[in-house]
Amino acid sequence: MYKAGWILGLLLTGALVAGAATTMNETNSFAYSANTGWINLQGDITNGMIIGEYVCSGYMYGANIGWINLGSGLPTNGIQYGNGSADDFGVNVEGEGLLRGYAYGANIGWIAFETNGDPRVDIRTGNLDGYAYGANIGWINLSNLYAYTQTDQINPGADTDGDGIADAWELSRAADLNFFTHTSEHDGDGYTDYDEYLAGTEPLDAGSYLAIVDSSRTDPDLDVSWAATNTRMYVVEQADDVEGSGGWTDVGGGLIGPTTNTEISATISDATNETSIIRVRAQRPLIP
């Protein structure tokens, strides 16, 4: 059983990005299935699970069930797996870290990542939670009383045209990779497409951009509100001038979010910098 799984693993791994190692944490990498025992999400490290911003890839491994393929990392449309055919399957990463789609083990068949089990990754901590389900093996628990699984990084995905923007993000909003560039600005809201990519806002919607919508100070508190998205965290930063020539520093609120609300209102204790310039910076989740 082990051998058959391993051969499949080697064959399919040939389609993966060469040398892509698992993103999973060395210690917190064991899921549990009551029927088949522990399942190692790190695999053998070289072929272990990779969690990306759009898709998962790599393999999970169970001593009793062999390798479980999470997808090639190369979805047919360049964005996410269609899961409508055997050559375009895998587990997608959606919204605030929902894991949805199908994995496959040669010895155990399809494993569903769907809404009932609600498997997901917390994009702030990297911790996985929820369940995947296989008709032949039952539930796979991604965290339990004794162990949990965690990713150290979230892989931004391929950038084949080298413009600093992940191809999946480009192709989900344009017909090809030429439309967006590192300096282009399509919707005229004053933020380049690259900046909107980093901020998690929409580059073809002039009403979507990262901006402070309200702020006030009642010493020692600073109240700040800004437009938010569920795929980003935020840091409220201060500087002595608008160019930030002396550098930007955290006002003191730390990492804020993510939230499913469209706006964040934060109250930050700040007694010392009454004349400083304030900005909100978007932080992408666990990007290496």
Residues lying near Ca ion in the complex (CB under 5 A) are found at 159, 161, 163, 165, 167, 185, 187, 189, 191, 205, 208-209
Closer residue to Ca ion in complex, CB, 196/270: 196
Tokens 């004053």 locate to 190
Q: Shortest gap between Cβ of 167 and Ca ion (angstroms)?
A: 5
Closer residue to Ca ion in complex, CB, 12/174: 174
Nearest CA-CA partner of 156 in 15, 14, 17, 4: 17
Q: Shortest gap between Cβ of 157 and Ca ion (angstroms)?
A: 9
Q: Shortest gap between Cβ of 205 and Ca ion (angstroms)?
A: 5
Closer residue to Ca ion in complex, CB, 129/185: 185
Q: Phi then psi for 280, rounded to 5 degrees?
A: -115, 125
Dist. CA 140–CA 129, nearest whole Å: 10
Closer residue to Ca ion in complex, CB, 64/208: 208
Closer residue to Ca ion in complex, CB, 14/288: 288
Q: Shortest gap between Cβ of 23 and Ca ion (angstroms)?
A: 20
Q: Shortest gap between Cβ of 151 and Ca ion (angstroms)?
A: 23
Query: CB atoms < 10 A from the CB of 15, how many?
Result: 11
Q: 117: which residues sit within 8 A by CB, 6+ positions away?
A: 130, 131, 132, 133, 139
Closer residue to Ca ion in complex, CB, 205/274: 205
Q: 114: which residues sit within 8 A by CB, 6+ positions away?
A: 100, 133
What is the bridge-based pairing of β-strands 50-51 and 56-57? Answer: antiparallel
Q: Shortest gap between Cβ of 261 and Ca ion (angstroms)?
A: 19
Q: 131: which residues sit within 8 A by CB, 6+ positions away?
A: 116, 117, 118, 119, 139, 140, 141, 142
